[in-house]
Structure 1
Amino acid sequence: MAFLLKQEYNGGNLHLSSVVVRQRLRGGMDVATSEDSFSMSDHPEEEYYGRSKQYKLLRRLLKYGQLLVMTICWLTFTYFLMANEEIEYEAITLSVPPGKEGLIVGINQKVIASSLCLRLYGPFTKTTFRFDELQSSHFESPFLWIKLQQVEEDNSIKIVKSILHLHLSEQHNGEWQDIIMVEKIIEDVTLDNGKYQLNFMSNFNGTIPLQVAYQFSMVSKKTGLILGLLLLLIIYIAIMFELVHRTLAGVICSTLAVGIIAAVHLRPTLQIIFNIWGNIDTIMLFFGASLIIELLAETGLQDYLAAVSYELSNGHIWPMLHCILLTSCLLSNVFDGILLVLFIAPICLRLCEIMQLDCTPVLSCLIIAINVGSTLTPISSISNNLISNSPFLTNHQIQFTEFIVHMLPATLLTLAQSYIHLRLQFLDSTKMRNFEPFQQRRLKRLINVWRRASLRMGDYTWDESLARQTVDRRIVNLRKRLKRLGKMPEKPTGFEENVQNLRASYPIKNTTLVIICLLALLITLLFSILSRIDQPIKISKGWIAILSALLALSLSNYEDIEGMLTRIDWSTMLFFVTLSIIMQVLITLGLLENIGLLLEHFIINVAEEHRLTVAILSIIWISAILTTFIDNVPVADMMMRIIGTLSLNHHINIPIMPLVWSLALGCTLGGNGSIVGAFANIACAGVASCHGYKLTFFGYLKIGFFVMLGNVVVASCYLLTVHVGFRWH
């Protein structure tokens, strides 16, 4: 931030006779103020509209209530974390022999508990799920059966509960194909200080190597599940009504979540929380993309593209949106949504400034276009990548072209439906206008900018230079304008002057740096495609983003690293981590597993002639609704387990691939439902906040949720038509 202050000393009083303040923002945006626009007087301004005593009392009560709730949360997770240590399972190595007698493992201590936590490490299939005894008899593959038994005083055996049925992996040349860990919470076991045993039996005709560890808890899984739902409700109330900043709400609720699972004796280690639960790959992706976009912002390319978009649209709203939405939808087919949001959202915000628009409809349209476009390819979203590479599809490997062929019609149909919905909702484009006085909007943004700059303690300079316009550029622009003549509405007053001012104000400042950043983005795209098609490289999207950012920094020899790091949205990055931790806690408490079991039983009990229809509709709607409120990655993982389980049951007779396409559409389109439905949505809200704007939960919900419902309806009709009607599969 550069301050140019002219100070006058008059009788011991300091006055600011002229003030020029410029703040360098992410995305190339700057805010300039002078004494002609805002008063910088040392004297406090008079409050013209006083508040009533009742209003002040209500605000005070709400503040005290908020402090009380946060204090209760702090006391709760502090007590649970102090009272329960991290779990260190003592593993027992076993060899389960074949036969009905199996292997009995005695539990040495006498316990009183209501739930049993089991951790098993052995040759299980990646489609291992929880079944009841009747269901397991329908499966032809070998499985391991675990029972909990109580030893009576007369040494007789009483079966307390048949707790798990785990499918075994296949053997190849005497070696097991898969060795994985399974962790389950078994509730309703009601151990009453007696002597107990674990009985391991299998229908496999050989010995099964196994490592077993167990832990007991006084809190039932049902209680933990209720607490988990309550936790989810708390964080959504905090985000929806903006009681506290969403990052602070996420940190408090994620810590409370860890405290809850500590209460049920499942407290993980810090290494597991940050390395596994924290979704480090998404954090690396966001960090690497932020570095590249920050470098690109130094060139002025985003402001230049905003000026070009304004010129191409002749200053009208919907032509401008056509340009932005078509570009973002096409790019989202190959680039990750987070990277696109970080690049395009600042352009949209600059256009909102130029055209006096409300940022909420424009950014909402951008999010919807990116989420719809990301349904097309397996590399365009994290959920699509997880589904296409899922180990639960043991008998079918999804090819890159196969994925595109099946998803292209659905993408085009949902894109058309989204456009029609948005066009009808904003048929009167003046609804997108921001009717708040310009000076008030500018002052609000300036306050937010100064506050953020003060917190970051940044000290940056911003040199403005005038752009030169060549005759060739002018000729090209005139030819483009000639082609559009008669097809566009009449230009607004002062359009030519505005275009000239924009071109003079927002030139490209560093062509070399633009080329370097575009090269980094090209490498990001190339590596993403290579890792998906032939897999010659074994790195994730996060590593690809980091390597591309390091290449851009190395080639540009950028020196102001500290300044760049202060402009990265660490708040949004931390919110990603907290949200991922909360989702993992809900998985540990069994929320998604219970939903999956209910869905599985529901599909199995449907008549065979209607089973495919019910399965398609159930999977796409449940995954879309869950994704609206829960991260789509655990939803996709849970649903793929269900699909893998159904593929093992040869008596159900359901084709698997229509269910896979249903899940892919549900997880991506469900992201349009709320501002936390996808990581790209959260990143977009973070970009708006960095620029002094606000994209609120309800502001987006009024637009995106109903678009999402229409998306899922159209996708459902498409799937039923091609797979139930024409049986494409």
Structure 2
Amino acid sequence: MDRIRRAFRKKNDSNQILNKSTYSLVSCGELPPDTLELWITLPEEVKYDPSMEEIRKKVEEIETNSKDTKEIIPNNSEITQSREEELGNDEDVTLMDDVKNRNTKYNNVSDQKKDKASRNLTGHNTQWKKAKHYIKMTVLLGCWTFFTAVFLLYNEKNEVFKNTAVSITEEKYYPLNVEKSSSIQVKLSGPFLSEQAEEKLNYSERKNYSQLIVWIESLNDNKTFEVINRTMAAITVSTCSLATLALVGERPTLMELITWLDVETLLLLFSMMILVAIMAETGIFDFLAVFTFQVTKGKLWPLIFLLCIVTAVLSTFLDNVTTVLLMSPVTIRLCEVMDLDPVPILIFMAIYSNIGGTATPVGDPPNVIVASNKAVIQAGINFTNFTAHMSLGILLILIQTSVQLRFMYRDSNRLRQRVPRDIQDLQNQISIWRRAADSLPHLSEGVNIVRERLERKITKINLKLHKTIKEREKRACPKDTFHRTLGELRDKYKIRDKVLLVKSVIAVTFVVTVFFLHSIPELNRVSLGMTALLGAILLLTLADREDLEPILHRVEWSTLLFFASLFILMEALSKLGLVSYIGGLMEQLILQVDEGARLGVAIMLTLWVSGIISAFVDNIPLTTMMVRVVISIGSNPKLNLPMSPLIWALLYGACLGGNGTLIAASANVVCAGVAEQHGYKFTFLKFFKVGFPIMIGHFIVSSIYLLVCHCVFTWH
């Protein structure tokens, strides 16, 4: 028995030796054992972070000391061996055997209980294995059925190789039949510079090198927006209307057809196209876009609003379709260098272009049609009072549009193509440190030491992330890259001909000045169309061009033919009685209300009906018909209504209704076409989600403005 006591005493002594060694292992550096166990599980990035340097040094010291202590501490095998030597006689062995027998009996009882429990589990496991087997076989058979059906129904890909060669200064068109093709690969070979060599060149050296420009055009782009070309459709429908007149015995002569054309409108459009075509050669539109980037210093919303306002101002005196066509390419380039999505920015530009074009008689085609109408001119509407009545309402609509767009895109990330790289890096760091903190067990104070360090680091990175996001919401271009980006844009988009720009400014100033002088009766001897023609002739004279063919090629002859066909169509419908029928319906609705409320009802009816219809039908033919309806209502002695408020209501509805959908205005279609040419999808639904709510806001503001001006203050 004494030997047994000595053996157990030695066993306790060995445990004390182990406990002392363990304590000495963790007490160095004042770190508890939980902290040491936890340190092994942390990621390498967390271990070697500067904020964890103090703990890392202490752990390294402890690891160094532990190597020395392992040599002092006896192994368990040595303690066991010494214990067996002291218990070497038979009596001690007998006592140990008794203890082993008792443990064996206890283990047998527990094994029996475990066997019963294992039988119950075996039944459940068998059922679960069968279920897993059936699920696995079902999935595998489904996959086999899928790829077998695909292989049986679809052929192998058929690659077609075509080659062509282009020499220097040659422009070659190479048609590709891609109706059944899923992809096109273009491979270029020749004496090209490598990417590394090209990066070493500056702008002037790169400009002097010969370049090979390759582009792919789709010949069926118009199918996206219209079933048939609108000019061809107008010619066909107008000819059908003439055939209908012939059936009822009212076929007009050729001379009568010519009198149906509104020459004043056609002349005004032609002259403004000449002015814009020459101005585009100066590079002023590209320069203005880069100038907005410079003035706003790369700040996001100031840049967007200033770019849209510049587009709106240009659209007041120039054709808004041409303005959008010239401003869109450089706007797309600005968006690309700032990681912005060009599609919403182009939608904003088209909306502001339609708004700006509504302010003056020459800004939007519906305004040109109305302002050139003889009955409207006889009613006393000229360029000055037209601009005065429309511009005040347009200013209110610009404010409403800006506020509504800012609210709709209050999350600036919707304007970006992707999350900026610096924000992605910070988010990745936070996720790494957060995973390390979440993996810590909630055990002891030693774990809390590490957790506090990790939480402190996470808080620091979060503050930096919020600061970066806030700066990104304000700026479209980071401060560190702003000047470099501005320099590149200045080199690429600059005024190409300053002398021609000065001449263009002189001609446009003459035209606008004479437009405003039309309000003076003594000077109102030249029409709007003739004034624009005089300005175009002045610019052609100052430009001193020997060859006019390039300029005449830029005139949109199809648009002029489209307008001419519409004038013939509307006159034919008028002779068939359709215009008078629609006017009669509106007159009956207006007569049903009290005389004091008739003007307000007529304004609301004209505004909202023309606006909603123009959102889904091109506003040019709608205006051509509705101007006749409005003139008939305004000249009806039974109603005794002033014509000018109805004219303003028609223009607000027809022009601003063009912002409702993609097909409602020509500027929208042109903007979408430019976006597709640069590889950005411009869908009907995407425009509708932005444009239609904006359009409803336009009509609400216009309604309040017209009712206050003409029903309360009787401005007319």
Equivalent position of 1:293 in the other structure: 276
Structure 1 residue 510: Cα displacement: 1.8
Structure 1 residue 604: Cα displacement: 0.8
Residues 336-359 of structure 1: CA deviation (Å, up to 9, x unaligned): 545644654555455455556555
Equivalent position of 2:294 in the other structure: 311
Tell me if 1:645 matches 2:624.
no
Report which stretch shifted further, 414-423 or 330-339: 330-339
Report which stretch shifted further, 510-519 or 406-415: 406-415
Equivalent position of 1:546 in the other structure: 533
Kept after mapping to 2: 8 A contact 1:359/1:695: no
Kept after mapping to 1: 8 A contact 2:289/2:331: yes
TM (normalized to structure 1)? 0.53
Tell me if 1:424 matches 2:411.
no
**5 Å matches for 1:408-447?**
408-433=391-416
Cα distance change, pair 548–255 in 1 and its aligned pair in 2 (3 A):
same
Kept after mapping to 1: 8 A contact 2:580/2:629: no
2:605 to 615, 618, 621: 618
Q: What one-letter code is carried by the residue in structure 1 that aligns with 2:538?
A: L
2:704 to 712, 717, 725: 717
Cα distance change, pair 318–588 in 1 and its aligned pair in 2 (3 A):
farther
- Cα distance in structure 1, aligned partners of 2:574 and 2:677: 32
**5 Å matches for 1:129-528?**
241-270=225-254, 272-273=256-257, 275-276=258-259, 279-335=262-318, 337=320, 340-341=323-324, 344-345=327-328, 347-352=330-335, 354-355=337-338, 360-377=343-360, 380=363, 397-398=380-381, 406-433=389-416, 489=475, 491-492=477-478, 494-528=481-515
Equivalent position of 1:183 in the other structure: none
Residues 51-96 of structure 1: CA deviation (Å, up to 9, x unaligned): xxxxxxxxxxxxxxx9xxxxxxxxxxxxxxxxxxxxxxxxxxxxxx
Residues 117-168 of structure 1: CA deviation (Å, up to 9, x unaligned): xxxxxxxxxxxxxxxxxxxxxxxxxxxxxxxxxxxxxxxxxxxxxxxxxxxx
Cα distance change, pair 409–530 in 1 and its aligned pair in 2 (3 A):
closer
- Cα distance in structure 1, aligned partners of 2:277 and 2:374: 37
Cα distance change, pair 254–690 in 1 and its aligned pair in 2 (3 A):
farther
- Cα distance in structure 2, aligned partners of 1:271 and 1:349: 48
- Cα distance in structure 2, aligned partners of 1:613 and 1:661: 13
Kept after mapping to 2: 8 A contact 1:627/1:667: yes
Cα distance change, pair 723–245 in 1 and its aligned pair in 2 (3 A):
closer
Kept after mapping to 2: 8 A contact 1:626/1:635: no
Structure 1 residue 625: Cα displacement: 3.2
- Cα distance in structure 2, aligned partners of 1:569 and 1:593: 33
Structure 1 residue 520: Cα displacement: 1.8
Equivalent position of 1:4 in the other structure: 168
Structure 1 residue 536: Cα displacement: 2.6
Residues paired across the two proteins, number? 462
Equivalent position of 2:444 in the other structure: none
Task: Mark the runs of 5 or more structure 1 residues left unpaired by the alignment.
Answer: 7-13, 21-29, 41-65, 67-237, 436-484
Secondary structure in structure 2 of the residue aligned to 1:243 = coil
- Superposition RMSD on alpha carbons, in Å? 4.6
Equivalent position of 1:604 in the other structure: 591
Cα distance change, pair 487–526 in 1 and its aligned pair in 2 (3 A):
farther
Kept after mapping to 1: 8 A contact 2:383/2:515: no
Equivalent position of 2:180 in the other structure: none
Structure 1 residue 619: Cα displacement: 2.1
Structure 1 residue 690: Cα displacement: 8.6
Kept after mapping to 1: 8 A contact 2:634/2:641: no
Cα distance change, pair 591–681 in 1 and its aligned pair in 2 (3 A):
farther
- Cα distance in structure 2, aligned partners of 1:607 and 1:519: 53
Structure 1 residue 267: Cα displacement: 4.0
Structure 1 residue 719: Cα displacement: 2.9
Secondary structure in structure 2 of the residue aligned to 1:494 = helix
Structure 1 residue 600: Cα displacement: 0.4
Residues 649-679 of structure 1: CA deviation (Å, up to 9, x unaligned): 3xx5656654454334334333434456556
Q: What one-letter code is carried by the residue in structure 1 that aligns with 2:168?
A: L
Equivalent position of 2:548 in the other structure: 561
Report which stretch shifted further, 344-353 or 525-534: 344-353
Kept after mapping to 2: 8 A contact 1:417/1:711: yes
Q: What one-letter code is carried by the residue in structure 2 that aligns with 1:415?
A: L
Secondary structure in structure 1 of the residue aligned to 2:190 = strand
Residues 537-571 of structure 1: CA deviation (Å, up to 9, x unaligned): 54444433333233222222224533344444444
Equivalent position of 1:591 in the other structure: 578
TM (normalized to structure 2)? 0.54
Tell me if 1:17 matches 2:190.
yes
Report which stretch shifted further, 614-623 or 577-586: 577-586
Structure 1 residue 491: Cα displacement: 3.5
Cα distance change, pair 563–596 in 1 and its aligned pair in 2 (3 A):
same
Cα distance change, pair 701–249 in 1 and its aligned pair in 2 (3 A):
farther
Q: What one-letter code is carried by the residue in structure 2 that aligns with 1:605?
A: Q
Structure 1 residue 383: Cα displacement: 5.1
Secondary structure in structure 2 of the residue aligned to 1:509 = coil
2:692 to 697, 705, 712: 705
Structure 1 residue 419: Cα displacement: 1.9
Q: What one-letter code is carried by the residue in structure 1 that aligns with 2:600?
A: T
Kept after mapping to 2: 8 A contact 1:19/1:33: no
Structure 1 residue 488: Cα displacement: 5.2
Kept after mapping to 2: 8 A contact 1:285/1:545: yes
- Cα distance in structure 2, aligned partners of 1:33 and 1:260: 59
- Bigger-Rg structure (1/2): 2
- Cα distance in structure 2, aligned partners of 1:683 and 1:535: 41
- Cα distance in structure 2, aligned partners of 1:394 and 1:300: 36
Equivalent position of 2:55 in the other structure: none
Cα distance change, pair 533–318 in 1 and its aligned pair in 2 (3 A):
farther
Secondary structure in structure 2 of the residue aligned to 1:606 = coil
Q: What one-letter code is carried by the residue in structure 1 that aligns with 2:312?
A: C
Tell me if 1:529 matches 2:516.
yes
Q: What one-letter code is carried by the residue in structure 1 that aligns with 2:475?
A: P
Kept after mapping to 2: 8 A contact 1:311/1:499: yes
Kept after mapping to 2: 8 A contact 1:289/1:342: no
Q: Which structure's residues are more often helix, by fraction? A: 2
Q: What one-letter code is carried by the residue in structure 1 that aligns with 2:634?
A: G
- Cα distance in structure 1, aligned partners of 2:642 and 2:215: 69
Report which stretch shifted further, 584-593 or 599-608: 584-593
Q: What one-letter code is carried by the residue in structure 2 that aligns with 1:323?
A: L
Q: What one-letter code is carried by the residue in structure 2 that aligns with 1:608?
A: E
- Cα distance in structure 2, aligned partners of 1:725 and 1:692: 51
Structure 1 residue 414: Cα displacement: 1.8
Report which stretch shifted further, 601-610 or 629-638: 629-638
Kept after mapping to 2: 8 A contact 1:329/1:369: yes
Task: Mark the runs of 5 or more structure 2 residues left unpaired by the alignment.
Answer: 1-165, 171-186, 194-206, 419-470
Equivalent position of 2:179 in the other structure: none
